[in-house]
Amino acid sequence: MSQTELSVKVIEDKPGLLTVEFSNLRREVLNGIRRTILAEVPTLAIDEVLFTENSSPIYGEYIAHRLGMVPIKTPDDPEILSQISIDIQGGNPPNMRVEYQLRAECPPQLGQPLTVSSDMLKPLGVEEARPVYDNIQLFKLGQHQVVELQATARYGLGKQHAKFSPVSPVVYTYKPVLIFDKTKDEPCDQHVSVCPTNCLEYKHGELVFTNPWDCILCRACEKACKSGATKIMWDENVARLTIETTGSLPPKVILKTAILILLKKFKLVSEKVVA
């Protein structure tokens, strides 16, 4: 492989977690992907709530805010999602809406407060657009208290409100590099012991990583080395991007959608310049 050839490798792929390793990808591009994932990949979220009855001690605005933060299953076609994002940013949001209904009443025979959770939020018409998790506690009702409401979900972007962002954390880290000068006489047992992630070992007269990706670049080992034999650096040619989702979209769909959004933006710019 040449020095500048791009390499992509999936390190971890779980339903709500994806880690991808990139080699020879410029950090400006990688950071652009990260920021697009955070701010521009669209999802469905509840944006309007109409109360027909609320005899609970909780303000309607408080309940509406909690409903808005409930992750909603979103259709996972990257091509459609990327176009929705471009349309929203161009001032033409899609007309698609999903209606929900919720009615909860605490009967006196229950003998305790009623916990209202996300599984009581019923979609009308679009059965697939359900809350991702059924056990999210929204609020509690006392005896004879009733909450009845209708809610509407729409597409939005994380840059508009955090409830539309499909991820919680999305970060990239460079590959740590350990440089050890064996010519400097320095006992290294203390270097191994000060590492908070236990990713160091002293082998054949040299301090080495057991797994470089376990290093958090705290440089505790470097600070403990009085002779200056130990240095911690990082390789900017190798980076890992980790995406942890809210569950509204699969992580691979989120990554592909973000890349398509960037490509479509570049195409729009190119067309404007040529025109």
Radius of gyration of the chain (CA): 25
| pLDDT tens-place string over residues 6-51 | 999 999 999 999 999 999 999 999 999 999 999 999 999 999 999 9
Is 146 a domain residue?
Answer: yes
Q: What CA–CA distance (Å, rounded) separates 178 from 104?
A: 59
Sign (positive or negative) of CA dihedral 45, 151, 98, 115: positive
Q: Of residues 62 and 207, which shows the higher confidence score?
A: 62
Per-residue pLDDT at 4:
75
CATH number at residue 109: 2.170.120.12
**The two structure tokens encoding residue 230:** 């130990």
Is 207 a domain residue?
Answer: no
Residues 200 and 192: beta-carbon distance below 8 Å: yes
Q: Of residues 48 and 230, which shows the higher confidence score?
A: 48
Nearest to 153 by CA among 91, 72, 77: 72
Per-residue pLDDT at 186:
64
Q: What CA–CA distance (Å, rounded) separates 102 from 105?
A: 10
As for how many domains the chain has, the answer is: 1
Is 19 a domain residue?
Answer: no
Residue ranges making up the domain that contains 101:
46-82+89-164
User: 183: pLDDT confidence band, cut at 50, 70 and 90?
Assistant: confident
Is 39 a domain residue?
Answer: no
Is 200 a domain residue?
Answer: no
Per-residue pLDDT at 158:
96
- The pTM for the full model equals 0.90
Per-residue pLDDT at 63:
96
User: 185: pLDDT confidence band, cut at 50, 70 and 90?
Assistant: low
Q: What CA–CA distance (Å, rounded) separates 167 from 186?
A: 45
Looking at this protein, which amino acid is placed at residue 191?
H
